[in-house]
Amino acid sequence: MVSTVERMAIPSPTRTADAPTAKAGSRQWAALAALALTVTLLAVDGTVLALAMPALSADLAASSSQVLWIGDVYSFALAGLLISMGTLADRIGRKRLLLLGAAGFGAASALAAFAPTAGWLIAARALLGVAGATVMPSTLSIIRDMFTDPRQRTRAVAVWSAGASGGAALGPLVGGALLEHYWWGSVFIINLPIMLLVLISVAVLVPESRNPEPGRFDPFSAALSIAAIVPLVWAVKHCATSGIDLAGLIAVLIGAAAAVVFVRRQRALRTPLIDVTLFTRPAFTGTVLASLVAVFAFSGLLFFFSQYLQLVRGYSPLQAGLRELPGTLASIAVVVVAVRVIARLGVGATLGASLLLTAAGFGVLAVAEGFTGYLGLALALVLVGVGIGIAYTAATDAVLSAVPRERAGAASAISEMSYELGVALGIAVLGTLHAVFYRGGLPDLSGLSDPARTAVTESLAAGSQSLAGAGQQQILAAARDAFAQSMQVTSLIAAALLVVAAVIAWKVVPSSRQPGLSGR
């Protein structure tokens, strides 16, 4: 039985035959549960701050720029190191690197929980990203190594994807439950007992695996990968908030130059960090792009939808988290159907259809945000959750199947890089667009004091704090309307991007059916 991507005609030039497929047993499935718990926690940590933003913004006196950095520096740091860590895991052992990363993640969580300033919290979140970069590729590459049967591997990837997308959607609920009774630092403290459980379960259940012939690790390539990713991501964020200027252009040039040198070096090395020739295949590139756009839209939605529920609808943090639960449950429920959908439709059609479903969810959301009821919001969250869950499962399984088992870490890094870049760019770009539309929709603020006017312009969270006791309820109501209308416009922009990604997936990713995967 051949793998998903082999049926898509995306063979890796370095591909070797995998070992004969064998059915995974109870130990492998138990190990999968431990890995899914790990990725769920990391995904929760990526979005758990959404509900805590109003509280920590007030407590730490964070500016709007600092709020965005608190939200996305975690993903920036993670994305910049994923390629290096994925390849390092293939060399020193995936389980070993996973255990080291989990321990570091717990330590960084403690630092974040007791951050006295916004700058401290940003630094702690960056350390969390560094630790996360050692964990994420390891979880997925261990799955690639444990599940050699294509049908079982697709199901295992679906479980893993449910942990990633479900964890991202679960973050606001966890945050809401904690913030109902504790201070904002509790959203980090909760990581400590869970990471302890992860360390124990991984140590007991997960087998060690590595590339038996890893070749020489190239530090220069690792540095180039960081130099290519981080400046480009920073430039997008900087230009979105400050406009196109010299600093942004210099960052783009640095990132682009590093990327060119990186690609040329990978082509020349016998054992590259990643097989860049995979990206010459339109189907492979289209799959990665579809995954990135899906996560881009989803993360941007989560980051600002939680604030919308609290600041515009007036829900408490826990109430807001509970109202996001339909999206969480839907993204987890796709485990039941993802394998059969991919088997019946093929990867390309599955990606296209699921992205269109997600776009429809964003369209419903844009309409529902203009009304006072909740049913429309719930329907939108279900559509988005199902669409994202299936799309990410299909894309991840396709990328993993493109390489042999011994290169699973590098392949996992590609998949994870698209996920984390999607998260970071979604928060930065959609967040910035939302802020621009919000400020453009504000009423005349000339009657307010300078501090109050600055607070309202900075963000609705800061404005609510400033105007709540100042007898300016009319202006506060107008600011809430501006926030809601900005959410509607941003949701429609995200929907349009998803439609474009769906068309690309449908056109460039083949959809040969895989009847062998549909059996029980």
What residues does each domain of the chain span?
Answer: 25-218+269-517, 219-268
Query: pLDDT tens, 59-81?
Result: 887 777 787 778 778 767 877 78
For residue 312, what are the CA distances in angstroms to 16, 109, 191, 307, 370? 55, 30, 29, 8, 11
CA–CA separation, 118 vs 129, rounded Å? 17
Query: pLDDT tens, 455-474?
Result: 788 777 777 777 766 567 78
Which amino acid is residue 367, in one-letter code?
V
Q: How many CB atoms lie within 10 A of CB 244?
A: 12
Query: pLDDT tens, 464-518?
Result: 777 766 567 788 888 888 888 988 999 999 899 899 889 888 888 877 654 333 3
Is a pLDDT exceeding 90 seen at residue 201? Answer: no
Which amino acid is residue 402, in one-letter code?
A
| Class of the CATH-defined domain 25-218+269-517 | mainly alpha
132-160 average pLDDT score: 80
Own/partner pairs, 118-125, CB within 8 angstroms, 24+ separation? 118/60, 118/61, 118/62, 118/63, 118/66, 118/70, 119/66, 121/56, 121/60, 121/70, 122/66, 122/69, 122/70, 122/73, 125/70, 125/73, 125/74, 125/77
Q: Angle 375-400/408-425 helices, nearest 10 degrees?
A: 150
Is a pLDDT exceeding 50 seen at residue 4? Answer: no
Tokens 């690309």 sit on residue: 504
The pLDDT mean for the chain works out to 79
Residue 91 burial by Cβ neighbours in a 10 Å radius (0-12, 13-18, 19+): middle
DSSP 428: I
CA–CA separation, 155 vs 124, rounded Å? 35
Provide Rg for the chain, Cα atoms. 22
pLDDT > 90: what percent of the chain? Answer: 9
Q: How many CB atoms lie within 10 A of CB 473?
A: 10
* Per-residue confidence band for 111, with pLDDT thresholds at 50, 70 and 90: very high
Residue 208 burial by Cβ neighbours in a 10 Å radius (0-12, 13-18, 19+): exposed
b/e string for 429-454 if b means 16 or more Cβ within 10 A? bbbbbbbebbbebbeebeebeeebbe
134-162 average pLDDT score: 80
Element (H, E) at 354: helix 347-368
Q: How many CB atoms lie within 10 A of CB 516?
A: 13
Query: pLDDT tens, 33-42?
Result: 888 888 888 7
Instruction: Round to the nearest angstrom and report the end-to-end CA distance of the chain.
Output: 15
207-217 average pLDDT score: 73
Tokens 């988290």 sit on residue: 321
